[in-house]
């Protein structure tokens, strides 16, 4: 559920009119509902309370500093996939001792710094990674806490680019190898502390069945590891899906009682997995990202042109695939609605496209949408996850602003980037400058001339 709705003919986020936020912050603009984020975390906590879970928010979904601070205030842990994410958790006030570090390519520097910061566990993706961590921990005279990421070879039935739990994917270690690997760790890896075991089967899973199948497959193995090595946790990963179609209606209780009854709510998810997990007597970790922030955010964009051709209509907006890449990358669906409710009375079929010089820069094709005109505002719903966090400066476009709403108040999470800042870390080597430019540089005139290459900053 979420807190975006029409009131007095205009779309609101909680008690603030979207058009008022756009008037101040411009477009493209990301807007988040704090209430939605808080309630999504609480719903998971309440539904899974019998398991006493540690919810580790997957910050790759949305890494805005203010959102991380909000999650930290609510006591969540964090699922990170880089040292940059881990340090951002610390900057936001999060507890690094409640962080799990995932990802297939952990560097020496990342492992070293993470051990110094005292993370809860590394989720191990390969034997070479395990060997590297063991060596580094030995050099630091530390024990590295780990959990092997098991690939259970269960197809979650999601898009091919977001499935992670089959043997065709780069993630994890095959189920059949796990028992022998833990035995080897216990006997050969002196600098490793076996803390748990982890799985993750994919993203945007909308029914409990794939989770149930994976957990049922894992339980005998987890019991064996618990008894042999006294592991303390079993992480079932993330992947709880959200509503993308009918996203506006999914904010209401009626939707969850009607069409939403066929969708996986936290309560339905909990009902399916608690009986399988509770008898283990272990701490259960969950790594949700999309569920917490996905429906809590929208992307607002202004219509620049309505282009009509004999073949189709194009609604050209000022947001592009550099702002929200999911439709171009995954062919993903985002519901598109107008800020003004009365525009819904007349519709037409159109492609909604952005300004990027790529044919993939399309948010929808041949979709029945509100009949808008130049200057109207459209909203892409369910944009809180994998939106801003994947944004870039392609085509020289600045990163958009982010705003968060708390009841009747609003403030920036991120100011809009200026055009000039898009090249702030670039320079021109001196040997490429013309003679007059070199003279100017010697007289102190500002030119973007690089210094000799420094070592890359590590933090």
* Helix ranges (DSSP H) in 313-442: 326-330, 435-442
Residue 451 token pair = 């210094």
Q: Is 161 exposed, middle or buried (0-12, 13-18, 19+ CB in 10 A)?
A: exposed
Q: How many CB atoms lie within 10 A of CB 128?
A: 8
Cα(334)–Cα(256) distance, integer angstroms: 19
Query: Measured between alpha carbons, how far is residue 171 from residues 103, 148, 263 in Å?
Result: 8, 11, 27
Task: Determine which one of 13, 357, 364, 392 is catalytic.
Answer: 357
Q: Which H helix or E strand runs over 149? A: strand 144-151
Nearest to 279 by CA among 321, 226, 332, 239: 226
Q: Is 99 a catalytic residue?
A: no
Cα(199)–Cα(214) distance, integer angstroms: 8
Q: Are 221 and 178 in contact (CB under 8 A)?
A: yes
Residues in the chain: 459
Q: Are 82 and 88 in contact (CB under 8 A)?
A: no
Query: Between 83-91 and 108-117, two packed helices, what is the crossing angle to 10 degrees?
Result: 30
Nearest to 146 by CA among 158, 161, 159, 134: 134
Q: Are 89 and 59 in contact (CB under 8 A)?
A: yes
Q: Are 284 and 51 in contact (CB under 8 A)?
A: yes
Determine the Cα angle at 370 with ends 32 and 400, to 5°.
35
Place of tokens 């003919």: 9
Query: Measured between alpha carbons, how far is residue 187 from residues 58, 131, 143, 191, 237 in Å?
Result: 32, 13, 14, 11, 27
Residue 395: how many CA atoms within 13 Å on its side-chain side? 14
Residues marked active site are found at 357
């Amino acid at each position: 559920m979420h807190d975006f709705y029409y009131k007095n003919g205009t779309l609101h986020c909680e008690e603030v009119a979207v058009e008022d936020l756009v008037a101040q912050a411009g477009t493209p603009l990301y807007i988040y509902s704090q209430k939605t984020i808080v309630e999504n975390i609480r719903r998971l906590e309440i539904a899974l309370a019998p398991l006493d879970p540690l919810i580790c928010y997957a910050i790759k979904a949305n890494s805005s500093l203010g959102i991380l601070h909000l999650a930290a205030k609510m006591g969540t842990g964090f699922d990170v996939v880089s040292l940059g994410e881990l340090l951002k958790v610390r900057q936001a006030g999060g507890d690094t001792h409640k962080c799990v570090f995932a990802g297939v390519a952990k560097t020496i520097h990342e492992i070293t710094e993470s051990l110094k910061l005292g993370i809860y566990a590394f989720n191990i993706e390969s034997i070479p990674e395990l060997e590297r961590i063991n060596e580094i921990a030995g050099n630091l005279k530390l024990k590295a806490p780990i959990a092997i990421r098991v690939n259970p070879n269960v197809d979650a039935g999601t898009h091919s680019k977001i499935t992670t739990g089959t043997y065709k994917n780069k993630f994890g270690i095959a189920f059949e190898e796990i028992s022998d690997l833990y035995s080897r760790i216990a006997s050969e890896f002196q600098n490793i502390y076996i803390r748990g075991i982890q799985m993750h089967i994919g993203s945007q899973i909308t029914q409990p069945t794939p989770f149930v199948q994976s957990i049922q497959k894992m339980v005998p193995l987890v019991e064996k590891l618990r008894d042999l090595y006294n592991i303390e946790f079993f992480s079932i990963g993330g992947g709880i899906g959200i509503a993308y179609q009918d996203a506006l209606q999914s904010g209401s209780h009626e939707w969850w009682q009607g069409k939403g009854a066929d969708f996986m709510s936290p309560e339905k998810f909990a009902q399916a997995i608690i009986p399988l997990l509770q008898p283990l007597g272990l701490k259960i970790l969950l790594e949700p990202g999309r569920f917490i922030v996905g429906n809590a955010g929208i992307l607002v964009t202004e219509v620049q042109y309505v282009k009509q051709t004999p073949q189709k209509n194009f609604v050209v907006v000022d947001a592009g695939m550099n702002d929200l890449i999911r439709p171009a990358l995954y062919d993903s669906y985002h519901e598109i609605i107008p800020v003004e409710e009365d525009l819904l009375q007349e519709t037409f079929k159109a492609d909604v496209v952005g300004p990027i010089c790529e044919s993939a820069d399309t948010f929808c094709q041949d979709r029945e949408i509100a009949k808008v005109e130049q200057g109207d505002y459209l909203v892409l719903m369910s944009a809180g996850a994998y939106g801003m966090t994947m944004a870039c400066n392609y085509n020289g476009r600045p990163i958009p602003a982010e705003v968060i709403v708390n009841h009747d108040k609003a403030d920036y999470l991120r100011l809009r980037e200026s055009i000039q800042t898009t090249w702030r870390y670039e320079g021109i080597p001196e040997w490429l400058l013309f003679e007059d430019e070199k003279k100017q540089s010697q007289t102190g005139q500002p030119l973007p001339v690089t210094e000799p290459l420094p070592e890359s900053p590590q933090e």
